[in-house]
Amino acid sequence: MPDPQLVLAARVQAALSAAFGPSYADADPVIRPSSFADLQANVALPLAKKLGRKPRDVADEIVAHLDTADVVADVQVSGPGFINLTLSDDWIAAAAQRALDDERLDVPLVDKPQKVVVEYSSPNVAKEMHVGHLRTTIVGDALARILGFLGHEVIRDNHVGDWGTPFGMLIEHLLDLGEDAAARGDSSVSDLTEFYQAARRKFDSDEAFADRSRRRVVALQAGDAETLRLWNVLVDVSKRYFNAVYGQLGVTLSDADIRGESFYNDLLEPTVRELEEKGIAVVSEGALCAFPPGFTGREGEPLPVIIRKSDGGYNYSTTDLATIRYRVDTEHVDRMIYVVGTTQALHFQMVFAVARMAGWLNDDVRAEHAQIGNVLGTDGKLLRTRAGGTVKLSELLDEAVERAGAVFDEIQHDQPYDDATRAAIVRDVAMGAVKYADLSVARDSEYVFDLDRMISFHGKTGPYLQYAVARIRSIFRKGGLTPEQASGPIVLGHPAERALALELLGFGAVVQQAGETTEPHRLATYIYAVADAYTTFHENCPVLKAPDEETKASRLALCAATLRTLVTGLDLLGVPTPERM
């Protein structure tokens, strides 16, 4: 899809090179939205300074070399040397028509598809998923969808915390409760917070239990069959819980995407050996450490990444290093995206630095930490229950559904719904609300989890966008045709038609940027702008009652293109769009 900004940037660059020589071919043409035209190119100002000439003269010279007759209807130099560019209606209409006619909305697949790991969600076994995991799940799922749509080979990777010393006490506690408690789904096991805390309490107060637990860790690490079987029972209980939450949210993660910390257990030793052989891991105060350059503590002392503790145990960082090595050596990935909280920023910076020292990461293999900001309650503090505990994700989502139901019953519906249909729509509204609220904020900023604000049919919300989609669908139902049957041709008359068509042309560039920068909020913001342009169009341009058949065909085609842009965009964000509302 030709994004006007990109098309005009290329044309201005060609003019620069024609006017001032090929060395200017890559100069930034400084294209910006303009209030006097569609866009303006502001490159004349910095260029004039460089050339020691008057900006207006430079602007005139660029315009003299500008070849845009097919794209632009009007070019004006204004002010100190802004070049105002007004796109031609025919060009916009033709571009919108191409998007409509193409099943990918004219969004090209990437030239060089990459193998990309998107690591997200990554909750811990035998622990409650918290709101932080909600956010990494939602953002990660959107990124996986976006990168896949662009044509990359995406590996979804749920790096669950399923290994480590706590499993000794957890297994012993499971034995004390009796395995059948797990099989029955007894809450003493299935309530993960309760289960974990009870084990912890015993561990801290009962010496014999603590001893058993420590022995159990050793047996687990030695690969004792019975211990591994018990460990698996615990993993399964948690998986069932994770899957329930994923199902509720409608995210694309399945069991096949789980590659927990335990998967890398056997790779820890060879990883550490390689780091030692390369002289990267050295013994310091009894522990095996790496000191990546540029990381220092308060006193300027080099900061270690502890690879093996003095007691011989491995660390969280060791697993992450083994993971990178595996992804590079065995999976041959080009890019790995870690969708994890900002609080782990230093950890990843240091791990990536060590991986670069080892040659696993380099200019061809990228690792990025897509940082996720904290989720706050309406009081501006970290989201907690009233009693101060961790908020349970499943309960939070249940509450969203309940509130969505109340709000849904207040809006005007296409028709009365039976209970099952109503429940399905309400679920979509609730999840759409939670997901869109999360995705419309820059992923690394904090955001306030406020159900009342997110579940509203007004404002920048998921339900508002879902409603816009349902409204367009109902136009087609009333008109007695499917959106696929609306083939145009698109002809632009009213300014609201032109503004909508122009907005639609931005889709491809936005999706591409969202994937490149791992920032789905760019897409979320764009989708809202499309819905906004549609609303203005809808208020000003009757569709089914258009003045003549040509106008009606064109407006239906604009509706169809808008519908597909909204549905595709929302689907890339993981936001469902009910047929009717």
- Residues near ligand ARG, by CB under 6 A: 119, 122-124, 159, 161, 320, 338, 340
Longest dimension (CA), the chain: 88
**Judged by CB, which is closer to ligand ARG: 263, or 417?**
263
In the complex, least distance from residue 96 CB atom to ligand ARG, rounded to whole angstroms: 42
**Judged by CB, which is closer to ligand ARG: 309, or 552?**
309
**Judged by CB, which is closer to ligand ARG: 119, or 172?**
119
Q: 316 with 344: CB under 8 angstroms?
A: no
CA angle 31/32/36 to nearest 5° reads: 115
In the complex, least distance from residue 224 CB atom to ligand ARG, rounded to whole angstroms: 24
Q: Distances from the Cα of 208 to the Cαs of 169, 221, 473, 518, in angstroms? A: 11, 20, 66, 49
In the complex, least distance from residue 118 CB atom to ligand ARG, rounded to whole angstroms: 12
**Judged by CB, which is closer to ligand ARG: 132, or 576?**
132
Q: Residue 72 and residue 89: Cα distance in Å, rounded?
A: 9
**Judged by CB, which is closer to ligand ARG: 56, or 115?**
115
Q: Which two tokens stand for residue 341?
A: 């909280």
**Judged by CB, which is closer to ligand ARG: 20, or 314?**
314
**Judged by CB, which is closer to ligand ARG: 119, or 519?**
119
In the complex, least distance from residue 121 CB atom to ligand ARG, rounded to whole angstroms: 9
- Ordered alpha helix ranges (H), 369-461: 393-408, 419-439, 451-454
In the complex, least distance from residue 132 CB atom to ligand ARG, rounded to whole angstroms: 7
Q: Distances from the Cα of 133 to the Cαs of 42, 121, 122, 206, 445, in angstroms? A: 44, 5, 7, 32, 15
Q: Residue 570 and residue 404: Cα distance in Å, rounded?
A: 18
Helical axes 462-479 vs 549-572, angle rounded to 10° = 140
**Judged by CB, which is closer to ligand ARG: 238, or 461?**
238
Q: Which two tokens stand for residue 334?
A: 């080009």
**Judged by CB, which is closer to ligand ARG: 124, or 221?**
124
By CB atoms closer than 10 A (0-12, 13-18, 19+), residue 546 is middle
Q: Which two tokens stand for residue 542?
A: 């009757």
Helix, strand or coil for residue 300?
Answer: coil
In the complex, least distance from residue 155 CB atom to ligand ARG, rounded to whole angstroms: 14
In the complex, least distance from residue 127 CB atom to ligand ARG, rounded to whole angstroms: 8
In the complex, least distance from residue 439 CB atom to ligand ARG, rounded to whole angstroms: 20
In the complex, least distance from residue 174 CB atom to ligand ARG, rounded to whole angstroms: 20
Omega of the bond leading into 578 within 30 degrees of 0 (cis): no
Going by C-beta distance under 8 Å and a sequence separation of 6 or more, which residues neighbour residue 397?
245, 248, 249, 430, 431, 434
Q: Which two tokens stand for residue 50?
A: 């460089």
